[in-house]
């Protein structure tokens, strides 16, 4: 306890206050009592040792999903279900709910359970009764409630359920109309961002190729500056890995359609960068020590490149793109 804290406690009226600047050691020397909790030997002292990462079937450590279970709440599932329905589907469901409830009121009159009262008399089971039941169902669904027809008995529960359900569905229909334009704007923004990302991939690949060619020329000099080559090689390979991962995701999980010319240019640049990288690695002297980030990046680079081929990707591409994919996979074997 600091001297300032002691002074504050004394101002509050505490008299038996003392500053033990040495902590617990001063307290023991001053004769203060100590209490120790009994040791718990029921559990082994392994809490500080974290479990090992799980090994995927392909032998890579830590590649399995982080979540063990994928349970979802019912409300999230319901929202996702409504989100996937179109505006027309929601409107038809709304109409169907009204019609089903109207038929329910009318069938009650047929079996003798008159649940609707109009002008003081039960609604009949004829065609006029069906029209009155459907009319009441529409009035209930739109929450107008004129009061010319009122439910009684079990029909009240049906009317309450119909009102709640119809209002929720109609609200979803209105929300779909309102968000339609917003979805269009988001899609346009995403398309522009996506095109800019593809342009940036091509620009970065040109930078990688230029850097690798410069390192290859340095490697051919008699006096090789190892420290300069090592730092620049790490930076170039990490940049190369990032763009390769982007292209890999694009081939395996395409969200938007990409023009053949753009994707062909990206794959051709990837193949050229792999060729230059393979040549550079063979040019390095035998005593060149690869850093740990470089080794990890080269391993990931080789793995991703070997997964790019005409028969590996889950989608069908044009023959020109398949040619460059197979070229990338074949060049990856040289780096390994």
* Structural domain spans, the chain: 79-153, 180-335
Q: What does the pLDDT average to over 262-288?
A: 89
State yes or no: pLDDT of 222 exceeds 50.
Answer: yes
Predicted local distance difference test score (pLDDT) of residue 54: 66
Per residue in 243-272, pLDDT (tens digit) is 999 999 888 876 667 788 888 899 999 999
Burial class (CB in 10 A: 0-12, 13-18, 19+), 2: exposed
- Residue 68 φ/ψ, nearest 5 degrees: -85, -40
SS3 150: strand
Q: Which helix (H) or strand (E) holds 117?
A: strand 116-118
- pTM: predicted TM-score of the whole model, two decimal places: 0.50
Q: Which helix (H) or strand (E) holds 262?
A: helix 260-283
**Alpha-carbon torsion 107, 88, 78, 165, what sign?**
negative
The pLDDT mean for the chain works out to: 80
Predicted local distance difference test score (pLDDT) of residue 235: 92
Per residue in 194-210, pLDDT (tens digit) is 788 888 999 999 999 99
User: Is residue 324 a contact partner of residue 268, using CB atoms and an 8 Å limit?
Assistant: yes
Alpha-carbon distance values, 38 to 45, 48, 317 (Å) = 15, 20, 69
Per residue in 161-195, pLDDT (tens digit) is 999 999 988 888 888 877 777 777 777 776 677 78
Highest mean pLDDT of the ranges 46-55, 110-119, 213-222, 274-283: 274-283
Tokens of 168: 């929720």
In percent, how much of the chain has pLDDT > 70? 74
Per residue in 298-312, pLDDT (tens digit) is 999 999 999 998 888
Greater pLDDT, 219 or 240: 240
């Amino acid at each position: 306890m600091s001297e300032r804290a002691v002074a504050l406690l004394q101002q509050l009226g505490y008299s038996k206050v003392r500053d033990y600047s040495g902590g617990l050691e001063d307290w023991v020397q001053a004769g203060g009592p100590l209490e120790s909790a009994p040791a718990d030997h029921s559990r082994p002292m392994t809490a500080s040792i974290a479990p090992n990462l799980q090994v995927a079937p392909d032998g890579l450590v830590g590649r399995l999903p982080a979540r063990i279970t994928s349970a979802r709440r019912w409300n999230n599932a319901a929202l996702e279900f409504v989100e996937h329905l179109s505006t027309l589907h929601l409107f038809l469901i709304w109409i169907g709910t009204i019609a089903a409830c109207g038929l329910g009121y009318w069938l009650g009159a047929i079996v003798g359970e008159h649940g609707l009262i109009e002008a003081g008399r039960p609604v009949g089971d004829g065609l006029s009764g069906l029209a009155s039941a459907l009319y009441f169902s529409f009035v209930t669904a739109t929450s107008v409630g004129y009061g010319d027809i009122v439910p009684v008995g079990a029909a009240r529960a049906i009317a309450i359920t119909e009102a709640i359900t119809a209002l929720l569905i109609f609200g979803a229909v209105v929300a779909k109309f309102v968000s339609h334009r917003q979805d269009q704007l988001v899609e346009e923004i995403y398309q522009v961002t996506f095109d800019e990302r593809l342009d940036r991939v091509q620009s970065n690949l040109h930078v990688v190729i230029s850097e690798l060619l410069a390192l290859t020329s340095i490697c051919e000099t008699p006096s090789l500056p190892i420290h300069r080559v090592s730092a620049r090689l790490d930076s170039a390979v990490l940049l190369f890995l990032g763009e390769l991962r982007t292209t890999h995701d694009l081939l395996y999980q395409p969200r938007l359609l990409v023009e053949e010319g753009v994707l062909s240019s990206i794959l051709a640049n990837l193949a050229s960068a792999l060729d230059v990288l393979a040549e550079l690695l063979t040019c390095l002297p035998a005593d060149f020590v690869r850093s740990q980030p470089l080794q990890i990046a080269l391993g990931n680079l080789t793995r991703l490149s070997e997964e790019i081929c005409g028969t590996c990707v889950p989608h069908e591409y044009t023959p020109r793109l398949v040619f460059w994919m197979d070229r990338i996979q074949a060049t990856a074997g040289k780096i390994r």
